[in-house]
Amino acid sequence: METFSTQLYFRVRWLIRFRMAACLVVLFFILFSSICLKIKLPVLSLLIMDMILFSYNGILAFFVYKIDLKKWPRYAIQLLRWQLSLDYILLALFLHLSGGIENPFSIYFFFHVILSSMLLRRRAAFIQTTLGVVLFTTIILLENLNIIPHYPVFQSTHIPLYKNPLYLLGVLSALISALYFTTFMASGVAQKLRDREKELTEANRILERQDQRKSEYVMMISHDLKEPIATIDSCIELVLGGYAGKIPPKTRQTLVRAFEWSQKMIQMINDLMSLSRIKIMPLAVKKPLHLAQQLQIVIKEYVLVSQQKNINLIKNIDPNLWIDANEEIIYHIITNLLSNAFKYTPESGTVGIELWSDRENIILEIYDTGIGIPEQYQQDIFTDFFRTPEAKIFDKGTGLGLAIVKHGVELFQGTITVKSPHNKIKSQKTGTCFTIYFPIFNPINKKEIK
């Protein structure tokens, strides 16, 4: 795929080639109009203008090939602006010398508008268009006020314009060339967009395949690491339990630290395996799930924690809602969110679970009155291994829980949002509320679903 610098380089080169062709076309029209059509024009002035166009275009071409490609992006935009600005000035002078407002080729101002819009940023393109408007308006006014001479192309006759052969030829030439040139530019842009879309689609497909391979590799390595670390963990636990004899205090302290870190490693490996499994899991593993039932299963696991910390557990669950999902992943989603809610909520706090539906979504909300998530970190909390400074102080975790939640939700065409602080409990000014939106799902026969 072309870089921005490469695109600029080819844009400038294309404009130079286009201008060289324009010099030849202008020369042809000058000679054809004056010799064949016998139109009285200031031929010498027009030829000088054509030579100026050819000369400064040659100078620009020389600079294009001399500029170091590493410095190219710095000069490219300025070069484009100068090119288009000089083009506007010369076009205005050509029109003045060949009939001014009478010249049907004034429509060519539109081409420069299209070119500047294609090649420059929006603000720069508007500036170039304004320059063209000012130049053309100035020429019309100066000719009208007799400050500069007017060079008539179609002499006044008793023949109406629509019957004047020269006028008809000029209008048709301008219109036909404008139509074909517009088609050329528009089709070129459209083809570029189609090619870029193909490139992006292919690049995205390659990235998805590489990401899946990475997930498979991480899952395989995590599985291979889990067994020896679990063995080490069990051995340390046996030693701490006194099965290897009495342990000196300093040795016990070291073993306790080793045991804590081994527990953390096992948790990280489990999270990595869960995240990798979600990323590589095919959609075919989905089945109708009674979401309220799944919530109740997970909630039972936290009843004891709720009692130990004297946490008020609020439940408002619609018992008739189903989703099309995978039971294992939904379990991970609910467990991670509830685990965080209880973990970061102090004693005598509140944790709430609400499940309801509207016309478009099944909505699951899990909120708490815990430490909350600062606004500047809320866009990063679903990133792998990310943890806020407050969370690092409060508890040692892996930073993968919310990444597992987000990937799991998106696997089933859902979305998740976070709000902290929230307004679920009016008396509280802290806490976090996660809201998950699942697509509405109605199983055909609920009795046959186990």
Instruction: Provide φ and ψ at 344, rounded to 5°.
Output: -100, 5
Measured between alpha carbons, how far is residue 55 from residues 18, 51, 58, 60, 104 in Å?
A: 14, 6, 5, 9, 26
* pLDDT at residue 418 in the model: 92
Burial 334-345 (b: 16+ CB within 10 A, else e): bbbbbbbbbbbb
Which of the 8 DSSP states describes residue 244? T
The pairing of strands 415-419 and 433-439 is: antiparallel
* pLDDT at residue 21 in the model: 85
Which of the 8 DSSP states describes residue 155? -
* pLDDT at residue 134 in the model: 92
* pLDDT at residue 13 in the model: 77
Task: Using alpha carbons, select from 350, 358, 361, 356 the residue that is nearest to residue 432.
Answer: 350
Tracing tokens 């909520």 back to the chain, one arrives at 345
Which parts of 139-209 are beta strand (E)?
none
* pLDDT at residue 83 in the model: 80
The pLDDT averaged over each successive group of 10 residues in the chain (450 residues) is: 64 79 86 82 87 85 71 68 85 87 84 81 87 90 89 70 77 85 80 83 80 67 69 79 79 82 76 71 72 90 87 90 87 89 89 90 92 88 84 75 86 90 76 91 58
H-helix or E-strand spanning residue 436: strand 433-439
Q: Taking the CA of residue 228 as centre, how many other CA atoms within 13 Å lie in the half-sphere pointing to its CB? A: 4
| CATH no. of 284-448 | 3.30.565.10
Task: Using alpha carbons, select from 315, 323, 385, 376 the residue that is nearest to residue 350.
Answer: 315
Residue 366 CA to residue 266 CA, distance in Å, equals 26
The pairing of strands 350-357 and 312-317 is: parallel
**Alpha-helical regions (H) of 3-42:** 4-31
* pLDDT at residue 448 in the model: 44
Residue 310 CA to residue 278 CA, distance in Å, equals 34
* pLDDT at residue 267 in the model: 74
* pLDDT at residue 438 in the model: 92
| DSSP characters over 105-123 | GGGGHHHHHHHHHHHS-HH
